[in-house]
Amino acid sequence: HRLHTPMDFFLLNLALLDLGCISTTLPKAMANALWHTRDISYAGCAAQCFFFVFFISAEYSLLTIMSYDRYVAICKPLHYGTLMDSRACATMAAAA
């Protein structure tokens, strides 16, 4: 029950984005290390670059939303319940 705060929700999303970010490059790097090669196709490189930039930009957006959450919690504590309800948190996380 205590882990249903907006900050915990955003931390869960941040952890998932971190997993997505590392999983874009690590499998190919492990395969290259296992088979002692340094080859990657152009399409594979483009896909890795696209997904890495996608996850990094989503992570930065989520960090910005988390800083807004802390701003509202500190500067507007009486309005925190109305500004950061579960629907607003889900909408902001989806927008990130």
Q: Is residue 45 part of a domain?
A: yes
Give residue for tokens 């290259």: 32
Q: Is residue 77 part of a domain?
A: yes
User: Domain limits at 18?
Assistant: 6-95
Q: Is residue 72 part of a domain?
A: yes
Domain count, the chain: 1
The pTM of this model reads 0.83
Q: Please, which residues have CB within 8 angstroms of residue 18's CB and are 6 or more apart in sequence?
A: 59
**pLDDT-derived band at 10, boundaries 50, 70, 90:** very high
Q: Summarize the confidence of residues 50-58 as an average pLDDT.
A: 95
pLDDT the model gives residue 19 = 95
Q: Is residue 1 part of a domain?
A: no
Token pair belonging to 26: 């690590």
| Side chain identity, residue 18 | D
User: From the CB of residue 58, how many other CB atoms can be counted at a distance below 10 Å?
Assistant: 19
Average pLDDT over all residues of the chain: 91
Q: CA 11 to CA 13: how far, in whole Å? A: 5
Give residue for tokens 């948190």: 89
